[in-house]
Chains A and B, each alone.
Chain A
Amino acid sequence: MACSHPTNAPHPKANSASTTIKGGTKAVAEGTVATFSVYRGTAESGEMKTYQVPVAEGMVVLDAVHHMQANDAPDLAARWNCKAAKCGSCSAEINGKPSLMCKTRMDALPLDEPITITPMKAFPVLKDLVTDVSWNYRVNERITPFTPKSDDTDNWTLYQEDVERVQEFRKCIECFLCQDVCHVIRNHDKKNDFYGPRFMVRLASLDMHPLDTVDRLQAIKEEAGVGFCNITKCCTEVCPEHIHITDNAIIPLKERVADRYFDPIGKLKGALGLNKSRK
């Protein structure tokens, strides 16, 4: 579908949103027109439709989607909010890779072939690029919230060393790209058995918190199913906040679970009542 309309001017925040993108970017020649192949339809039926969009300097994929909406497909459904890689709304799969549309620069994509945009395939599609991610909220409800020893916050003393691990996890913007890419959820039908990387991050942030009093190890092993993760690290690869999900959250949780459930010495100590409670 050829398009004669001028490109929308990129939002000034687009540049700042894309400064940390991995891989080299290249200058785009003036007058370049990118071809997009975009999923149009619902969970039950749909097809890939082609759109052409003129590329401007600093443009991100979300700009291109806005251009399609403004000029060719006003009914194209796409969720977005901040356009600054902070609200986690614009998650989709760009050229097959789970990504934020507002953080994926056009000059980082090969423009000689059509760029595909599909919704996150691990979740039911509502329309076009919009998915129903409410399963994640149901998972979240199952996690016992932060339960400190005392609610008397005036008397809490927290040292930076003790909370910096947790601070990394608090960067999460709940884009659910990690949940989308995780093969345990995406491919293996384990939505009932495994909470997924985003919630491993939340569980780690609670379990490692010096003031939290809940013993979460059984929940991490049984209900959250940390053992279903095979540490293939795709969650870490797609996380737009660059949280070291596998190395800093999941592997430490696996080691904590091993302490109690797999370590024969730990088990023996437990049986003899020599295990100091961590909480």
Chain B
Amino acid sequence: MSSSQTSASSLPPLSEVKTASLNTSPALQVSTLGSTERPDAWWIEPVLSVAALLGFSVYVTWAVSQNANYHIGPFLSPLYSPNLQEYFPKLFQALPWLSPAYLVLWVPLLFRGTCYYARRVAYRSFLMTPSACAVGPSETASALYEGETKFPFAVMNLHRYFFYLALVLVFFHWKHLVDAFFYPQGVGVGIGTLVVGIDTVFLTLYVFSCHSWRHLLAGKLDCFTCSAVDKMRHGAYKRQSKLNESHGHYFWFSLAAVWFADVYIRQVASGNWHDTVYLFGQGLTTNPF
């Protein structure tokens, strides 16, 4: 470490004054839950986020506990991807009560749970630190707040490892998309193929717009022109940065696409809905399974 590094510890403390006692005038208080002068509907975003994420969590908990109707023809529910039953059939014969989804779901959960965008949503909507800008958090939250400096929230700093695991998921999703063209009667494009395709594309956009990926591509460099490789990395970084601007949108779109893909495949597998497919050389076929 350079000798010229900042040595703030040798300077006097920055502030002896606590925010709560800065301004004692009652009209200037900021630290009670929901205290704000904002007249707009600032609460809509956190309420919608809580509703969407809780709704999704309840659905996923139910869907993975079903251990049925997640596979039909060439389609596999993304909640059960990769299909461990296919790779370890003996394990699941021996433990028939074990849903294969339980063994894979932790990957997307940890990837999404440590995502920078998801953290923003969760800290705002669930922990209310703060629910919206210039809206007071609770006094308890204020007293306990340590940001991401201590366990458990310091785990967020490991997001890049869940990104590596998410790359494996992306690989399998593309494999499932290729599979989704191969119907029992021949090759074709069906509604299910499109549903799986939308899920795959949005997952890919979500994963590759990740902030950790941006850093690994070239964000960590201070000099982009120091070598030919750095120049190439910078080119990729610039393009990825464009994608990164919409990372939050991809978070929601891919969440919705996963949900709908599971609903669709589950309904088709249980016979409630019928897939329709255009089979090359054979024409339109309804109810191919």
Residues of A participating in the B interface, judged by any CB pair closer than 8 Å = 39, 41-48, 93, 95-98, 110, 113, 116, 118-119, 121-125, 135, 138-139, 141-144, 147, 159, 161-162, 181, 183-192, 194, 207-210, 212-216, 218-219, 223-225, 227-234, 237-238, 247, 251-252, 254-259, 261-263, 278-279
Contact = CB atoms under 8 A, between A and B. Distances in A.
Interface string B17-53: 1111011110110110000111110000000000000
Contacts of A261: 157
A160 to B, nearest CB: 9
B2 A214 contact: yes
Give the 10 A-B residue pairs with the shortest CB-CB distance, closest first.
A96-B37, A234-B133, A191-B15, A223-B8, A228-B147, A96-B38, A255-B215, A262-B157, A227-B149, A219-B6
A183 B15 contact: no
A225 to B, nearest CB: 7
Contact of A110 (B37, B39, B158): B39
A102 to B, nearest CB: 19
B86 interface: no
B1 interface: yes
User: Which size class do B's interface residues fall under?
Assistant: 35 or more
Contacts of B27: 39, 41, 46-48, 118
Contact of B25 (A42, A97, A144, A224): A42
29 contacts: A41-B25, A93-B134, A95-B39, A96-B38, A142-B6, A142-B14, A147-B4, A159-B225, A162-B222, A162-B223, A162-B224, A183-B130, A187-B137, A194-B147, A213-B2, A227-B149, A229-B148, A230-B123, A231-B119, A231-B123, A232-B124, A252-B214, A252-B215, A252-B219, A254-B148, A256-B220, A259-B220, A261-B157, A278-B222
B244 interface: yes
A124 B1 contact: no
A39 B37 contact: no
B134 to A, nearest CB: 5
Given A43-B23, A95-B38, A251-B211, A162 B8 contact: no
B227 to A, nearest CB: 12
A32 B86 CA distance: 72
Contact of A161 (B24, B130, B234): B234
A235 B250 CA distance: 22
Contact of B30 (A186, A228, A230): A186
A216 B8 CA distance: 12
Interface string B117-154: 00110011000011001101100001001111100011
A125 B25 contact: yes
Contact of B129 (A183, A213, A263): A183
Interface in B230-288: 231, 234, 244-245
B37 A93 contact: yes
Contacts of A44: 24-25
Nearest to A37: B37
B22 A237 contact: no
Nearest to B28: A121
Nearest to B14: A192
B93 interface: no
